């Protein structure tokens, strides 16, 4: 069941709410945009609903975000019809100083990566618990074709990491998730490239080739800080 937007806002931790609130100023009124997936994005959609006319249509990164947009009276747009988007707003599981990200905690990484790639600007919104010096404490999610699950897992082991099958999860694309522990991510772009070369691996949750252009970090005191790639 979909939690209503008033509850989303009243339950939102101050850091997530601060980041989502600050992101409203990046939105050009009436322009189509991409909206990611996760609890911080849910707060953003709830805030958008309170400003009628600000967003009339958006491309959603997950079926859950689609439902939230529809409940807020916002048209869900097809990326095949919008062309390049000016703006994509999404959360993250980890962010490093170069604004490379780990994403996919909510299993929406493939659509998230597609919309990020199809957008001119990617604004990441997160609370300050997501900021790290080096990516990798959060297990790296990868989406795999079901028949390739064991093969991809063996390749990950050969790369020195420890893949864990996310039981009971099927992505919006009908695929499976492996959460990879113990990756040493000192070169996010190089690792993303290596992972992308594995047959049967659909998407890895490293967003480094196309990281964020701006990070809005919400703090527990309710203030937000803007960070550009360092």
Q: Which residues bind ligand 5RP (CB under 6 A)?
A: 36-40, 90-93, 103-109, 112
Instruction: Give the residue with the Cβ less far from ligand 5RP, 56 or 121.
Output: 121
Reply yes or no on whether 112 is catalytic: yes
CB 122 within 8 A of CB 116: yes
Q: How far is the CB of 96 from ligand 5RP (least distance, A)?
A: 15
Q: Distance between CA 167 and CA 178 in Å, rounded? A: 9
**H-helix or E-strand spanning residue 34:** strand 33-35
Q: Which of the residues 112, 133, 143, 192 is marked catalytic?
A: 112
Backbone angles phi, psi at 164, to 5 degrees: -125, 125
Nearer to ligand 5RP, 109 or 161 (CB): 109
Q: How far is the CB of 41 from ligand 5RP (least distance, A)?
A: 6
Of 56 and 76, the one with the shorter C-beta distance to ligand 5RP is 76
- Closest distance of CB 230 from ligand 5RP, Å: 21
| 170-175 contacts at long range (C-beta below 8 A, 24 or more positions apart) | 171/107, 171/108, 171/110, 171/143, 172/62, 172/63, 172/107, 172/108, 172/110, 172/111, 173/110, 173/111, 173/143, 173/202, 174/146, 175/110, 175/143, 175/144, 175/145, 175/146, 175/202
Least distance from ligand 5RP to the Cβ atom of residue 49, Å = 17
Query: Which of 68, 103 has the CB closer to ligand 5RP?
Result: 103
Active site positions, annotated: 112
């Amino acid at each position: 069941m979909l939690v209503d937007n008033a509850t989303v806002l009243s339950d939102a931790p101050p850091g997530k709410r601060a980041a989502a609130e600050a992101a409203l100023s990046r939105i050009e009124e009436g322009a189509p945009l991409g909206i990611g997936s996760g609890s911080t994005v849910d707060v953003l959609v709830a805030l958008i609903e309170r400003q009628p006319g600000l967003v009339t249509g958006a491309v959603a990164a997950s079926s859950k975000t689609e439902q939230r947009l529809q409940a807020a009276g916002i048209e869900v747009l097809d990326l095949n019809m919008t062309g390049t988007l000016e703006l994509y707003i999404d959360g993250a599981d980890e962010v490093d100083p170069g604004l490379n990200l780990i994403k996919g905690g909510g299993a929406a990484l493939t659509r998230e990566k597609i919309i990020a790639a199809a957008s001119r600007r990617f604004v990441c919104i997160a609370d300050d618990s997501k900021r790290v010096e080096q990516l990798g404490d959060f297990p790296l999610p990868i989406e795999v074709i079901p028949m390739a699950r064991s093969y991809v897992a063996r390749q990950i082991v050969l790369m020195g990491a420890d893949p864990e099958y996310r039981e009971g999860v099927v992505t919006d694309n009908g695929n499976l998730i492996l959460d990879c522990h113990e990756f040493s991510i000192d070169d996010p772009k190089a690792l993303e490239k290596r992972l992308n070369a594995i047959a049967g691996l659909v998407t890895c949750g490293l967003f480094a080739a196309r990281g964020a252009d701006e990070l809005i970090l919400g703090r527990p005191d309710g203030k937000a800080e803007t960070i550009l790639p360092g």
